[in-house]
Chains A and B, each alone.
Chain A
């Protein structure tokens, strides 16, 4: 088919303007890639999770209890709504891995002897399940195996109930129940210092005095069963056996954290692309409407020939669609690539799925195309009709001599300080204030985007500093197997190398206020503690008052919706399981996690127990850590240990890695958008003023002088854009902070000088690079053309 003349014009002009076309496509690409990367990562992880849960039969409800004889399970299976029910034995364990001196804790779970579990199946990566009759065989979680380089055939030692036992690894597996593994008392996963292990039921029962009994129940429900009813019945049936309360999958530890992470990722996947794509759409609008305004006289000719406004608009729409399709295609390709990498980073650091189904929904591509396309089309049609509204004779006439006047600066009497070229710059800016403003806003958006992309790193450093250096300042946090007499503090303080001890008492509980609930724990801490402190909004330590509870801000405001003075209902999930009425006495500030603090004494009094502790915070003399770990490891009542330095390291290993990857990508894309905008602004300014500048050259101005007039204006606008861009950046970061708050963490609105510098850098670097390109073009201005043609 022969191309129509207008379509040839289209292709030739696209080819002619290829650098500008690419720069505009880069802006679109930046926005689209962010969207595709974020949403495809989210979709892939959710899709993979659901598939993994189904394939390995994750249970719907769970109960932990002290001990119940196996026949009780028969009664439990009768509960209406239960489909499959399985009992297990589980036990906390301390582990020793050869060549690793830090404290390592774990969880031992039973597997049915000689068969696959009905629920919570294992995906074996290597090796096999333990054989019946080989009591020392275990399967270990793959994260733990990878962290220590353990493989089937390797050995490790476990201390169960104070008895040291040698184990042989026969398999490495992933479980849907422990995708997210966190040691009790820790805030983030630490694969080196916490592991999950599975061994045969009989062997584990023997080691934990659980023969013929169980202390954990998992079950799936029939379709349509009411979860709450089943939970109530399980609670009723197991209360005599020391139940810690039945809970649904939504409260299951790994799943809950996974859900929170995914919720957070979804927000990120909405907020970042919305900002990026929004800014890109705005920039597209500015760039395209100016580009088309330049074609004013060509639009006039086409109209003179008898082309209709619609036909002309369609012509430019085609032009823009080519650019949009190019930008979207590049964005989808880049976004898919980044998305696959990001999904892998997530999968390797946080969500330990055994496989990943990467998926890019066509709807995501459609959204990208729709947003970029409609922004571009709107700009195009608007600009074309504005040009076409003129009678063709007028469109072909040069624009009426623009009305220039002396600028404010000159009117104020500064003109003698300004040479003619400088006056031209100022007058030009002042004559088209809206256009100049839009250029400044466009460049400022690029600057702001850069700050958003780069912001999280500084914020995380700040958050970690507050959390670990001001709030949780202990070197080691211990948890005990059961509530222990508070006298343990003297015992611990007497250990060589321990310089300070503060005990705490925590109790699992459901906090309720009106129809809001939170399943977590209450921490009884020392009111005058120096190691573990609650902080107020100005990050100053607060003393926990007696007689009530203080809550961290996110828990109080966003989850329970309580204010100081409200009375909280606390359902304790331990011992007699009392339900307590406790006043809220204050609200504290915490970036990481959620907490409800009380004085240890108040909590013990409410529980009607003597002075008891469930754990302790220790300060340790530098250099003595290993010795202290070793001594504590020998004590059977010490269940878990979380080392402070290790916690920080593991924080960076998990949150750090994917946030930083995301940031790196966002920074690159913000840079691409920034350059696209600045370059286009400069290039269009050149087109608009080519004739004027060439005329000046004819009159004897040097290239340097006309360069100053054009680039001076661009430079001035870019400089103005930097402070505006910083304000835009702070605003965008504010949006991110509000949108990204979750149970896991709340980012502080904290911008480092680096942030501002990066924002300014993208503007300055883009302006310099664009200036250089424009400078070279100025050398090729066609002076003769000016003399020959009009305007």
Chain B
């Protein structure tokens, strides 16, 4: 029996599947996902590579569409939404952080954030967003002049500057050493706590799971475990 829809949840997913082709190979990325995500919580998605974590995150964020099943955001269906509706959804509600930062190389830190704040209705200033991640002194540096950790914090500032309802992070520390990674995680933790933003964090690093409210483990396109974590650890106490 399908679990009932929860009216409190930010995201509700039922029976999500996703199949896509990579070259000549057909990949079954998701094989039926049921999931509810609540306001203010910090959720870690764990799983080996190829388990479907990124696909799930992309579908939740409106970057990709499901092959089957249903996703609702605040009660409104995302599945079947048009490209324009998805664009508006992303613009108004979602902040993204990617493993490889994906900054625009020709824009400075401040301008990378401004590229987003310019198209939304009630953003923070780029300076405030960058201050929140501790980069108030690096405003006018180009991506090529910033370290990996700094670049990722610019990406976080860029994601949160629009005051999104949800922050989706795909392996935000994947390309960083553990010390730098901790700094980035601290920034995410601060955003989650101070702004109350629902934060979903993908990692294959079990150590990071200790900072989550809930840990969801995926394997081979299915959820294999949902584990609440009543004792959230602070990011700076983590190490791996």
Interface residues of A (CB under 8 A from B): 4-6, 8-9, 12-13, 16, 297-298, 301-309, 311, 391-394, 396, 400-403, 788-790
Which 8 pairs from chain A and chain B are nearest by CB?
Answer: A306-B91, A12-B106, A5-B115, A393-B63, A393-B58, A393-B64, A306-B90, A5-B114
By a CB distance below 8 angstroms, the chain A residues around B22 are 400-401
By a CB distance below 8 angstroms, the chain B residues around A391 are 58, 63-65
- 29 inter-chain pairs at a CB distance below 8 angstroms, sorted by A residue, are A5-B112, A5-B114, A8-B106, A8-B107, A9-B106, A297-B102, A298-B104, A303-B87, A304-B96, A305-B90, A305-B115, A305-B116, A306-B90, A306-B119, A307-B91, A307-B119, A309-B83, A391-B58, A392-B64, A392-B90, A394-B64, A396-B98, A400-B21, A400-B22, A401-B22, A401-B23, A403-B24, A789-B175, A790-B100
Distance to closest chain A CB from B146 (angstroms): 12
Contact between chains at B83 and A306 (CB < 8 Å): no
Partner of A306, one of B24, B120, B175: B120
| Smallest Cβ-Cβ distance to B61: which chain A residue | A304
How many Å lie between the Cα of A497 and that of B233 in the bound state? Answer: 119
How many Å lie between the Cα of A13 and that of B107 in the bound state? Answer: 9
User: In this complex, which of B87, B88, B175 has the most chain A Cβ atoms within 10 angstroms of its Cβ?
Assistant: B87
How many Å lie between the Cα of A4 and that of B115 in the bound state? Answer: 7
How many Å lie between the Cα of A4 and that of B106 in the bound state? Answer: 13
By a CB distance below 8 angstroms, the chain A residues around B54 are 393
By a CB distance below 8 angstroms, the chain B residues around A400 are 21-23
Distance to closest chain B CB from A428 (angstroms): 16
Q: Known contacts being A9-B115, A391-B64, A393-B64, is A790 close to B99, with CB within 8 Å?
A: yes
How many Å lie between the Cα of A182 and that of B92 in the bound state? Answer: 79
Contact between chains at A16 and B148 (CB < 8 Å): no
Partner of B63, one of A4, A5, A304, A307: A304
Contact between chains at A402 and B63 (CB < 8 Å): no
Partner of B107, one of A9, A307, A393, A790: A9
- Interface positions of B from 57 to 82, Cβ below 8 Å from A: 58, 61, 63-65
| Smallest Cβ-Cβ distance to A298: which chain B residue | B104
How many Å lie between the Cα of A16 and that of B142 in the bound state? Answer: 14
How many Å lie between the Cα of A396 and that of B55 in the bound state? Answer: 13
User: In this complex, which of A8, A13, A392 has the most chain B Cβ atoms within 10 angstroms of its Cβ?
Assistant: A392
B111 is an interface residue with CB less than 8 A from chain A:
yes
B148-192 interface mask toward A, CB cutoff 8 Å, 1 = contact, 0 = none?
100000000010000000000000000100000000000000000
How many Å lie between the Cα of A9 and that of B142 in the bound state? Answer: 12
Q: Known contacts being A304-B63, A304-B90, A393-B63, is A402 close to B99, with CB within 8 Å?
A: no
Q: Known contacts being A305-B115, A401-B23, is A788 close to B63, with CB within 8 Å?
A: no
By a CB distance below 8 angstroms, the chain B residues around A394 are 20, 64
How many Å lie between the Cα of A6 and that of B21 in the bound state? Answer: 33
How many Å lie between the Cα of A646 and that of B139 in the bound state? Answer: 78
B225 is an interface residue with CB less than 8 A from chain A:
no
How many Å lie between the Cα of A400 and that of B20 in the bound state? Answer: 11
| Smallest Cβ-Cβ distance to A390: which chain B residue | B64
B1 is an interface residue with CB less than 8 A from chain A:
no
B4 is an interface residue with CB less than 8 A from chain A:
no
Distance to closest chain B CB from A10 (angstroms): 9
User: In this complex, which of A5, A298, A401 has the most chain B Cβ atoms within 10 angstroms of its Cβ?
Assistant: A5
Contact between chains at B175 and A788 (CB < 8 Å): yes
| Smallest Cβ-Cβ distance to B159: which chain A residue | A305
| Smallest Cβ-Cβ distance to B83: which chain A residue | A309
Distance to closest chain B CB from A781 (angstroms): 15
Contact between chains at A301 and B58 (CB < 8 Å): no
B84 is an interface residue with CB less than 8 A from chain A:
yes
Contact between chains at B106 and A5 (CB < 8 Å): no
How many Å lie between the Cα of A303 and that of B106 in the bound state? Answer: 17
How many Å lie between the Cα of A414 and that of B212 in the bound state? Answer: 59
How many Å lie between the Cα of A16 and that of B107 in the bound state? Answer: 12
How many Å lie between the Cα of A392 and that of B158 in the bound state? Answer: 17
By a CB distance below 8 angstroms, the chain A residues around B91 are 305-307
By a CB distance below 8 angstroms, the chain A residues around B20 are 394
How many Å lie between the Cα of A306 and that of B118 in the bound state? Answer: 11
How many Å lie between the Cα of A297 and that of B103 in the bound state? Answer: 11
How many Å lie between the Cα of A16 and that of B102 in the bound state? Answer: 19
Distance to closest chain A CB from B6 (angstroms): 26
By a CB distance below 8 angstroms, the chain B residues around A790 are 99-100
Partner of B115, one of A6, A16, A392: A6
By a CB distance below 8 angstroms, the chain B residues around A9 are 104, 106-107, 111, 115
| Smallest Cβ-Cβ distance to B116: which chain A residue | A305
Q: Known contacts being A5-B111, A305-B115, is A16 close to B175, with CB within 8 Å?
A: no
Contact between chains at A16 and B88 (CB < 8 Å): no
Distance to closest chain A CB from B215 (angstroms): 23
Contact between chains at A402 and B90 (CB < 8 Å): no
- Extra pairs beyond A5-B111, A303-B87, A311-B119 (14, CB < 8 Å): A8-B111, A9-B106, A12-B106, A305-B90, A306-B87, A306-B92, A308-B87, A309-B87, A393-B58, A393-B63, A400-B22, A402-B23, A403-B24, A789-B175
How many Å lie between the Cα of A657 and that of B41 in the bound state? Answer: 83
By a CB distance below 8 angstroms, the chain B residues around A297 are 102
How many Å lie between the Cα of A573 and that of B89 in the bound state? Answer: 87
By a CB distance below 8 angstroms, the chain B residues around A6 are 115, 118
B5-30 interface mask toward A, CB cutoff 8 Å, 1 = contact, 0 = none?
00000000000000011111000000
User: In this complex, which of A307, A309, A393, A401 has the most chain B Cβ atoms within 10 angstroms of its Cβ?
Assistant: A393
Contact between chains at A396 and B102 (CB < 8 Å): yes
| Smallest Cβ-Cβ distance to B104: which chain A residue | A9
How many Å lie between the Cα of A512 and that of B24 in the bound state? Answer: 73
Distance to closest chain A CB from B111 (angstroms): 5
User: In this complex, which of A9, A16, A304, A402 has the most chain B Cβ atoms within 10 angstroms of its Cβ?
Assistant: A304
How many Å lie between the Cα of A5 and that of B120 in the bound state? Answer: 13
| Smallest Cβ-Cβ distance to B98: which chain A residue | A396
| Smallest Cβ-Cβ distance to B93: which chain A residue | A306
How many Å lie between the Cα of A5 and that of B113 in the bound state? Answer: 9
User: In this complex, which of B54, B63, B88, B112 has the most chain A Cβ atoms within 10 angstroms of its Cβ?
Assistant: B63
Partner of A789, one of B94, B100, B158: B100
Distance to closest chain B CB from A304 (angstroms): 5
Distance to closest chain B CB from A316 (angstroms): 14
